[in-house]
Structure 1
Amino acid sequence: MFQAVLKEIVENTEGGIATLLMDFEGIAVDSYSRNGAEFDISTIGAEFSVVLKSIQRAAEMLEAGPTAEVAIQAEKVTTLIRVVNNAYFVAFSMSPDANMGKARYMLRTKVPLLLKELS
C-alpha cells in the first residue's frame, strides 16, 4: 500500500524524482524512485530527518505550533517534507523546476492515506 501511494505522488507530479516514508529516527518504511534517479531518497531522508527534528524543536520553543511542511531547495534537487504524525514524515525529491504547487497538493492529499495505513 505505501509504495503505491508514494509512486502515485512521483508519477503525477511533473519533475518528481522520488518519495520516501520514514520515521524520525531515520528508518525508511518504504520508498519509490523513478528509474535512473540521480539521488538516493533514503540518504536524503536520513540526513533531513535531523534537520526536521531541529525545526520542530525550534517551532515548539517559539510556541509556533507543530511543523507541517518544510521545503529545501538546492541547485540540483528540491525536497519537500510533510509531517505525517509525531513519528513519521514523507520526503519528496524533485527537479528544481518541478511544479511545487502540485507537489504540495499531492502530499497534502495523499498523507491521510499513509496515516490510515500506519494505524
Structure 2
Amino acid sequence: MFRQKLTRVVKNVDGSLGCMLIGFDGIPIDSVFSGEELVQMNAVAVELSNLLDKFRRLQIYEVGEVNEVSITLGEVTALARVVASEYLLILALDTDADVNRGQTMLRLIAPYVEREMV
C-alpha cells in the first residue's frame, strides 16, 4: 500500500539504504529494504519510535512538537518524520547521502501517507 511512496523516496535520494513506515507502537507497516538491512533498521526504528514518543510527552512542558529527528549510528544516518501523529517515516542513508534531500523527500510524501492512514 505504501511501498510505492517509500520506493519513490529511496530512488530519489542518492545514498538511500531504505525507507519504512512504522507505528509509535514499534510495529512496521511497510518498508523498502534488503534482507539484512531490514533486520537492523527494524531495531533502529523501534528505538526511534520510543525516543520520539518520549519527546511527544514533553509537549506538556510546552517545548513544542517534535516533527522530525536524525540520528547517526556508525555509517548510517536515520531520518525520522512524524506522520498522522501515530506513525513515523524513517529513511536510512549511507555516509555519502544527501541528508537535506532525504528530509525534503520525507516532507513531500508525508501528506500522501497521512491521507492513506485515515
Same fold at TM > 0.5: yes
User: What is the TM-score of this pair, normalised by structure 2?
Assistant: 0.89
Question: Matched residues in 2 for 1:48 and 1:6: separation?
Answer: 18
Question: Matched residues in 1 for 2:60 and 2:77: separation?
Answer: 27
Aligned to 2:8: 8
Aligned to 1:56: 56
Q: Which moved more, 1:98-107 or 1:62-71?
A: 62-71
- Give the % identical residues: 30
* 2:41 corresponds to 1:71: no
Aligned to 2:111: 112
> Structure 1: where are the runs of 5+ without partners?
none
Structure 1 or 2: more helix by fraction: 2
Letter in 2 for 1:88: Y
Query: Against the structure 1 CA distance between its residues 53 and 21, is the aligned structure 2 distance closer, same or farther, given a 3 Å change threshold?
Result: same
* 2:18 corresponds to 1:18: yes
Aligned 8 A contact 2:18 2:91 in 1 = yes
Q: How does 1:79-90 map to 2 (within 5 A)?
A: 79-90=78-89
Aligned to 2:33: 33
> Structure 2: where are the runs of 5+ without partners?
none
Question: Matched residues in 2 for 1:44 and 1:90: separation?
Answer: 12
User: What is the TM-score of this pair, normalised by structure 1?
Assistant: 0.89
RMSD: 1.8
